[in-house]
Amino acid sequence: MRDVAHGLTEPHRRYNALTDEWLLVSSNRTSRPWLGLAETIPDRNLPSYDPSCYLCPGNVRANGERNPAYKSTFVFRNDFAALQPDSPIVKVSEGLLRAETERGTCLVICFSPRHDFTLADMSQAEARRVVDLWATQSEELGAEFPWVQVFENHGSAMGASNPHPHGQIWAGDALPREALREDESQKRHFEATGHRLLLDYAAQESGGPRDVGSDDEWLLVVPFWAAWPYETLLIPRRSVGRLPELDERQRDTLAATMGRLLRGYDGLFNSPFPYSMGWHQAPFDNADRSHWQLHAHFYPPLLQATVRKFMVGYELLSEPQRDVTAEDIADRLRSAIGAANSERTLTSG
């Protein structure tokens, strides 16, 4: 069957079924001259231990507490948390002006004691420990808070304040904007069809022009509606609502799939590739969430090695816009993933 995007070379709009939004695709803009900000290429030569790093084992953090000499992963409450678990519940309103306090908590997760490692550098077993930690922490936080947001900001271009491999989990009482949008779209599709929206999407995309390395358990795809240049979406092929529900095989294959993707990202421009990623899982509340399918978003900002995609002007005031089609990007990313992981196999062998 011919793909719906076949022949769409002129400027056009694409529909995001997950958030009920549209975006503009203008693939003729990549050849325009660029005299704007040039991103610096990150240094690959980091030490395995940095005595000045507040995340390395045994070092003192900003609040005066000392990290344990951890050998694998390490979790602690963010020393500068954006949410507090003991915030009193206060709601105020006057006319159109409304505000309310938000109760929650923020955790930091160190993926490895190695200062010079990233998720792309880790073995499958090491990455699996991170997956397990995401799941156990989600379950613990979900017992108290409806929304649990697991995420990682990787690289200074995405605001990471420290190169030590780490991510965060924020949990709160309210469902944020993106959660509400995705919940409504998934619920509407489920009520109309009896199927989970993202499982139907996975079936339609599997093996297609935007599939960049799926396996039997996970769909890895540049989404049809991608706004960021090398954006990807990771979806389990079986019905799963939350991270704690993943079984042993799904966790093992997830660790392997993430590693392949992130090594491919680094191989695109032969330099560490910045990104923000995060998991969207069903809210931990008493509502019926049978329509919700677990998934992860990867949002890398770079269009070229030193050229960042900015969401400004038209994007801020009208709707998202991208400069190259998802299909062209998928071709490049598939090649990069194949080359990077073939090299790793040869090196390890």
For range 205-232, the mean pLDDT: 97
Give the separation between CA 284 and CA 297, rounded to whole angstroms. Answer: 19
With a CB cutoff of 8 Å and minimum separation 6, the contacts of 173 are 102, 103, 104, 145, 146, 147
Burial class (CB in 10 A: 0-12, 13-18, 19+), 56: buried
**Nearest 5 degrees, angle CA 330-CA 155-CA 331?**
10
- CA-to-CA distance for 330 and 311, rounded, in angstroms? 21
Statement: the pTM of the whole predicted model exceeds 0.75? yes
Q: What is the DSSP letter of 344?
A: H
Per-residue pLDDT of 282-321, as tens digits, reads 999 999 999 999 999 999 999 888 888 889 999 999 999 9
pLDDT in tens, 51-109: 999 999 999 998 999 999 999 999 999 999 999 999 999 999 999 999 999 999 999 99
Q: What's the CA gap between 71 and 68, in Å, rounded?
A: 9
Lowest mean pLDDT among 13-22, 167-176, 183-192, 337-346: 337-346
Please list the active-site residues.
Answer: 166
Q: Which domains does the chain have, with CATH numbers?
A: 17-348 (3.30.428.10)
Residue 9's pLDDT band, with cuts at 50, 70 and 90, is confident
CA distance 220 to 213: 6
DSSP state of 158: G
The reported pLDDT for the residue numbered 29 is 64
Separation of alpha carbons 273 and 41, rounded Å: 9
DSSP for 218-230 reads EEEE--TT--STT
If you write DSSP's letter for every residue of 181-203 in order, what string do you get?
Answer: HHHHHHHHHHHHHSS-HHHHHHH
